[in-house]
Structure 1
Amino acid sequence: MTGITASDTTAFDWRPFLLTWSGEWADSLSDGETRGEDDEAARRARWLGFPPASEERIAAMEERLGRRMPPSYREFLAVSDGWRHAGGFVWLLAGTGATRWHDNESGLADLFEEHQDEDAGPEERREADIWRRGLQLDVESDVTHVLMDPEDVDEDGEWAVYTWAGWRAAPPERHANFRAFMREMFQEFHSLLARRTDGAPVFVNDTTRELDALVEEARLEALRGRWEQALTALDEAKKYGRPRAAGLGDQIRRLLGETSTVSFENLVTDPRYAPELLPPLVAEHAAHSYRDDSTLRYRVRGAGDDLVSLAYATLDEMRAGMYRYTAAGPFGVAVERAREQARWGETDGAWQTLSGALPLWEPLGPDHLAPLGWVADPLLGPLLTPERGRELLSTPRGGQTGEAPAPTAGLDPGGLAWLAEPDPGNNRRSYRFVLVENVEPWDLPGLLADTDTDADTDAGGHEGQGGHGGEDRDAGVGSAEDGPLMNEPMTVWEARRRLRHARGEVSSFDDRALMAIGRAGAGWSFAFEADPAPFDPRRFVSPAAAAVADTRAVVVWSGLRDQHGQPFFHLSVAHDGAEQYAFTYAAGEVRASGEIPRALDPSRFFGAPENSAAAERPLLEAVAEEFGVRLPRHALVNGRLHTCTTRSWTRPPRDGETYTVIRVLMGHDDRADPLQERRP
């Protein structure tokens, strides 16, 4: 492909490039397809250009325009004084005689200015200014403008070229210089040929064969783990419209974190690949459709009725939280194991399980580059980060060999000290958690729930009941038994929204925590709530003792402010159903009971009240070391976990104490109507 892939900074020989373009244009035409006599003459001559412009003619043009032309345009004119069919929509490009200043002849400067905000940036202002100062190169076109901007100049003196067509509904497209513009128009010529739908024979020549060989080698490079080289080659072939390039490249891009620009073109409609490529597209639609599902059909345009039906069925599964990714062979076994780890918060372990099994992964067909359906799985999807995506792409797989990448660092810092750091949105003001030793996570709801209120509904709207609901309802593996009141894995936001819909009445004396549950390290399980109700030491009742009968339980409640606006910290530890020791720091004072170990002695952490906030981190470090526990940050912040509603963390009201009850009435339009009353 002589001259086709030359970079903008290398020497460029215009004549071989223009001869190649002209010959391929002539070969692509069927009989009678030329526009007129000039086109027919160009087809016979296999030359889209004109005679070269002399230096005197170029200088005369520059004298007329009052500016010296940029180097690449001058070099082009010295080979051809103008050009026919620059891409698919510019039929005649100006030479020395037809080039002129646009001077807002189209009125588009005014149109673009009308749609600009007062604080428009340089790029937006250029979109309007180009129509006043630009040099017009289009002479005949399909309402397509080509302008060079004398104010957008690089270090080599090259002017940027801008193209715009109103029917494209997009801002002007920038091309680095005239040479880049012409190369991109040659690519457009090929891309339009590759997408012809008029029944003409598929156009094949040396260029298309070379590009298709480039795509095939890129496919193998991607499977060998050399994804960066593969993506560069696929992007180059995509510019020419080669049919496999976009679909292959999109698989790489999706694992790098790109979502809205990915379509898996030409591959997602192939039934072989739909089980892997369809779920990520459906998940992106579900996240941004706002229940307008008419656009889902567009995402799978060209698909048959069966595949469209599968897309809508997958959408229903995702909205119900029931979509579950599966795969064949040993990798599929690892997927199930990773889901089981992820559902209990072991996200780093789940990723290690997945990544360790990647060399065993089996593609669904020759154009399948990596497992992708798992990114739409509600439990596995949160495992993906850009770093992990690069690790996956760098792992040899699908029968290919190569150098294995270094594992990416884990996302969880370990221990508990991370709770003392600001969260990404700076929204976590307080938190509380229960740690229970030698108890599986699925048993926690039964230990923490109020047995006197089992008839109450949980955050998912399920009636309190025992049994195996979670395993049958969710995608877990093994024989774990979900206790009463445990919901399917969901985000904290989803769980809270369901709880608001499920509860008809909330009392200020009824502080039943909505807690995410999972594993807290070897031999420990946790129940965690971020931003709970305000801490009131006068009414607080630790759930530690009631949670255990023959093991240990640890309760921590910490925050920047209690109901009086002061920092607070509570720790209580129970064993065999009885509280062993506890302390509460609030209002600048420490109240303690029991024999507190030296490592957790509050006198080591709390001194002057103004320094109390600094005690949180060392206290959390001490608790983590004392009990060998941790909380999984990534799962709690970004993942989905089972949730349960605990017994109240406040004591019942005493005689004469008043409290507030909020009753939520749901109307036919599903809007809440809160009523408040005070009860003695």
Structure 2
Amino acid sequence: MTDTTVFDWRSFLLRWSGEWADSLPEGETRSEDDEIARRARWLGFPPASEERIAALEERLGRRIPPSYREFLEVSDGWRHAGGFVWLLAGTEDARWHRNESELADMFGEYLDEDAGPEERREADIWRRGLQLDVDSDVTHVLMDPEDVDEDGEWAVYTWASWRAAPPERHANFLAFMREMYREFHSLRARRSDGEPVFDNATTRELDALVEEARTEALRGGWERAVKALDEAKGYGRPRAAGLGDQIRRLLGQTSMVYYDGLVTDPRYAPELLPPLVAEHAAHSYRDDSTLRFQLRGAEDDLVALAHATLEQVRNGTYRYTAAGPFGEAVERAHELARWGDTDGAWRTLIDALPLWEPLGPDLLAPLGWVADPVLGPLLAPERGRELLSTPRGGQAGAAPGPTAGLDPGGLAWLAEPDPGNNRTSYRFVLVEGVEPEEVPGPLADGDGAVLNEPMTLWEARHRSSHRQTEFSSYDDRALMAVGRAGAGWSFAFDGDPAGFDRRRFVSPAAAAGAGTRAVVVWSGLRTWHGEPFFHLSVAREGAEQYAFTYADGQVRQSGEIPRALDPGRFFGDLEDRAAVERSLLDAVGREFGARLPRHAIVNGRLHTFTTRSWTRPPRDGETYAVIRMRR
């Protein structure tokens, strides 16, 4: 229930009037009415008598809502409601709009049979609304007699064509006036040279609130902090938006996050510029004209740094660093993340967070790492909340419980549907007792064994196809991501393999297992093209120990297969292919104690390389096609 009956309208309107009067420069040319209002320190008019209110209600044919009535009892109208309504109606000027603006017709043109109640209200308000704007900058203010709450309050709608937005709804007249007071503050807070400093009891209260919120955020109380910062931001207080944006970015909210007033401060550039330009790079499509606007007021050196950082972000070469013990943890986390251990990398960062030293008092958390191509994918909403809840920057507080890891462990997650249901076939190699950077050696030829910089599998495929100039119908070179696959294992993974041809397929297990043990899995049990298939081969010391292939409804096997991996246990009934695939992957994971990191493979960036072909060379009499392209 809305409680507006106890609101002290007179104190509120007197405070507003006094602050407005004090904000005007001496000698500024104003209308006679404004000059009288400035001297009187009163933007209103004499109170409306009960007779005038009764006459208004008789003219309208209905009782006016409570908060508007209480306002009229203090002031029969109002000047300068916000920045764009210069005169607000009292008892004499309030009237039914009756589509005088013809906006009902304009809004009605956009309605179709699927239009919802809110869209229809936006069109109908112009026919039934009570108009309160008398003089304005093409800004309409209407109260809706059919949008009524349990207290009899009418919603207020405001709309201006130059705002390019739908009508804005306010719960009642009091809520509307409070918003106009905030708008007045917000506009006055952005002063130009030569105007009086906008300093009053309200601004001092809000600035103290911002400072309290800053300290509270560093203690881990981000929810209370962001609420206070949003309140101060509504009044245009300096620092409030820049501080609040830091919290929002760590919560995964990137729209309209500009770190206003802080990103152009050279002290904070190492932390705030990278996430700003990374978001710009993600949506700019190489149009960098808006970046200068986001950095308005910045010195040339800082703008140059922004463009240099932007180029690094686009090239995938940006590397986040920090000072002190936290910076050392960043390096350890980077090493873990680039080989796929994103859960370990996150714990390394968060455990070191209390040691982080801010670059200045208005930095609430380390932020530059979210633009790092390797560290950035560590961020998830629940992890952002954990970071924000962790005391830091020299503040004490209770540490939050750790968030659950993003990797389920094992291999069975590969059988789960992914967004778009695109992962229907994949292959991977597990190699025991070697580091990830050693995996390409026995699987690739020449330059193919050189690891690319960490990137997503999509980026790696795009760059590889752009460089490739020859395509063969017999060639099946796999572009594979590499990393650690649990204790004692490394992996190479291809999430978008070519079609499986049992007659020409050559398992790379023996080559990968030279001097160690290797496991090869190629699954297409849920493939959309052709018959389902599944292959497993295991080699030790360069020789295949055992293997089986399910294809064309049959199983072909060799060697002594352990009971846990016996294909007879899995291929009796393929009615539920995902269940069969899950059981197979679970058995492989248990047998070898290996896993694949889901978060790194699906969302992260890993090193990649190109293997030699997974198919044998053509035999005599077998035809094939080769396509060569000129670049």
> Which range, TM-score by smaller chain?
over 0.9
Q: Tell me the CA shift for residue 504 of structure 1.
A: 0.8
Distance in 2 of aligned mates of 1:236 and 1:334: 35
Matched, 1:273 2:238: no
Q: CA RMSD in A?
A: 1.8
Q: Tell me the CA shift for residue 245 of structure 1.
A: 0.5
Contact in 1 for aligned 2:4/2:174 (Cα 8 Å): no
Partner in structure 2 of residue 197 of structure 1: 192
Please say which of residues 395-404 and 79-88 is displaced more in the overlay: 79-88
Q: Which amino acid aligns with 2:207?
A: D
Partner in structure 2 of residue 598 of structure 1: 563
Partner in structure 1 of residue 126 of structure 2: 131
Distance in 1 of aligned mates of 2:622 and 2:188: 81
Contact in 1 for aligned 2:415/2:578 (Cα 8 Å): no
Matched, 1:358 2:317: no
Q: Tell me the CA shift for residue 665 of structure 1.
A: 4.0
Contact in 2 for aligned 1:414/1:630 (Cα 8 Å): yes
Partner in structure 1 of residue 83 of structure 2: 88
Q: Which amino acid aligns with 1:652?
A: P
Partner in structure 1 of residue 553 of structure 2: 588
Pair 582,187 (structure 1): closer, same or farther in 2 beyond 3 Å = same
Partner in structure 2 of residue 499 of structure 1: 464
Partner in structure 2 of residue 641 of structure 1: 606
- Equivalences for residues 164-243 of structure 1 within 5 A: 164-243=159-238
- Equivalences for residues 404-483 of structure 1 within 5 A: 404-449=399-444, 451=445, 454=446, 464=447
Per-residue CA deviations over 1:343-400 (Å, capped at 9, x if unaligned) read 1010000000110110000101010100001111101110001100000000000000
Segments of structure 1 that go 5 or more residues without pairing to the other structure are: 1-5, 455-463, 466-483, 667-680
Per-residue CA deviations over 1:516-548 (Å, capped at 9, x if unaligned) read 110000110000011311111111110000112
Q: Tell me the CA shift for residue 563 of structure 1.
A: 9.2
Contact in 2 for aligned 1:534/1:563 (Cα 8 Å): no
Pair 116,661 (structure 1): closer, same or farther in 2 beyond 3 Å = farther
Contact in 2 for aligned 1:535/1:562 (Cα 8 Å): no
Percent of residue pairs identical: 81
Matched, 1:159 2:154: yes
Q: Which amino acid aligns with 1:581?
A: Y
Partner in structure 1 of residue 502 of structure 2: 537
Matched, 1:294 2:289: yes
Distance in 1 of aligned mates of 2:626 and 2:64: 79
Q: Which amino acid aligns with 2:137?
A: D
Partner in structure 2 of residue 675 of structure 1: none
Distance in 2 of aligned mates of 1:297 and 1:612: 54
Distance in 2 of aligned mates of 1:654 and 1:22: 93
Distance in 1 of aligned mates of 2:426 and 2:382: 29
Pair 374,440 (structure 1): closer, same or farther in 2 beyond 3 Å = same
What's the secondary structure of 2:439's corresponding residue? helix
Per-residue CA deviations over 1:281-309 (Å, capped at 9, x if unaligned) read 10111011111111111121111111111
Matched, 1:577 2:577: no
Segments of structure 2 that go 5 or more residues without pairing to the other structure are: none
Please say which of residues 20-29 and 392-401 is displaced more in the overlay: 20-29
Distance in 1 of aligned mates of 2:219 and 2:477: 53
Contact in 1 for aligned 2:216/2:224 (Cα 8 Å): yes
Partner in structure 2 of residue 516 of structure 1: 481
Partner in structure 2 of residue 626 of structure 1: 591
Q: Which amino acid aligns with 2:40?
A: A
Partner in structure 1 of residue 522 of structure 2: 557
Q: Which amino acid aligns with 1:537?
A: R
Distance in 1 of aligned mates of 2:589 and 2:610: 25
Contact in 2 for aligned 1:534/1:562 (Cα 8 Å): no
Pair 307,661 (structure 1): closer, same or farther in 2 beyond 3 Å = same
Q: Which amino acid aligns with 2:372?
A: D
What's the secondary structure of 1:370's corresponding residue? coil
Per-residue CA deviations over 1:574-600 (Å, capped at 9, x if unaligned) read 000000000111122111100111111
- Aligned partner (choices 492, 501, 511) of residue 546 of structure 1: 511
Q: Tell me the CA shift for residue 255 of structure 1.
A: 0.5
Normalised by the length of structure 2, the TM-score is: 0.97
Q: Tell me the CA shift for residue 100 of structure 1.
A: 0.8
Partner in structure 2 of residue 660 of structure 1: 625
Q: Which amino acid aligns with 2:158?
A: T
Pair 164,608 (structure 1): closer, same or farther in 2 beyond 3 Å = closer
Partner in structure 2 of residue 252 of structure 1: 247
Contact in 2 for aligned 1:161/1:176 (Cα 8 Å): yes
